Amino acid sequence: MISIANPAEMLALGQAISRHVKPGDLILINGPLGAGKTVLAQGIGLGLGISDVTSPTFVISRIHKAALPLIHVDAYRLLDTSNPNLFIDDLDLDLENSVTVIEWGGAESARLSEDRLEITIDRTEDIRTVEIKTVGSRWSGFSL
């Protein structure tokens, strides 16, 4: 568990994670509204040289072009649909050549890759706690 006291620390965590990513990586970020999911995604973007990462809540996904492109998805609006798998597939994500970060990424997003980071942010207290779970051989031995 990682303790995060403020948005600057969440941004720094994202930048630290970005130093480990490569094309084809999938990162799922979960937590309640206001937990810092987008700030973490912004930190990953900053680490990739992308300074304009904003929440894609209303457009669902954004592609940020860079040496290593970042696809940022907010699946929140898909959660209440009858078939979120179908909508995730309709996004036609270029998973192989980009780093893909999905906020509110549940089982429908996890099936996109056998190798992924699953990040959970808890904000039940003033200090947020972040748990990073590695899934698959790609992330074996990962540590910050």
pLDDT of residue 107: 78
For residue 7, what is the domain's CATH number? 3.40.50.300
Rounded CA gap, 104 and 112, in Å?
14
Question: Is residue 91 one of the residues assigned to a domain?
Answer: yes
State the total domains in the chain. Answer: 1
- 75 in a domain, yes or no? yes
Decide if 142 is inside a domain: no
The answer to whether residue 110 sits within a structural domain is: yes
Domain residue limits at 78? 2-136
User: Using one digit for the tens of pLDDT, what is the confidence trace for 50-92?
Assistant: 988 877 665 567 788 889 999 998 877 665 555 554 466 566 6
Does residue 28 sit within a domain?
A: yes
Long-range CB pairs of 75-84, under 8 A, 24+ apart, other chains included: 75/102, 75/103, 75/104, 75/105, 75/106, 75/108, 75/109, 76/103, 76/104, 78/104, 78/108, 79/104, 79/106, 84/108
- The one-character DSSP state at 30 is E
On whether residue 141 sits in a domain, the answer given is: no
- 23 assigned to some structural domain: yes
Give the whole-angstrom CA distance, residue 62 versus residue 102.
Answer: 11
Helices 7-18 and 37-47: crossing angle, nearest 10°? 50
Amino acid identity of 56?
Answer: P
pTM: 0.88
**144 in any annotated domain:** no
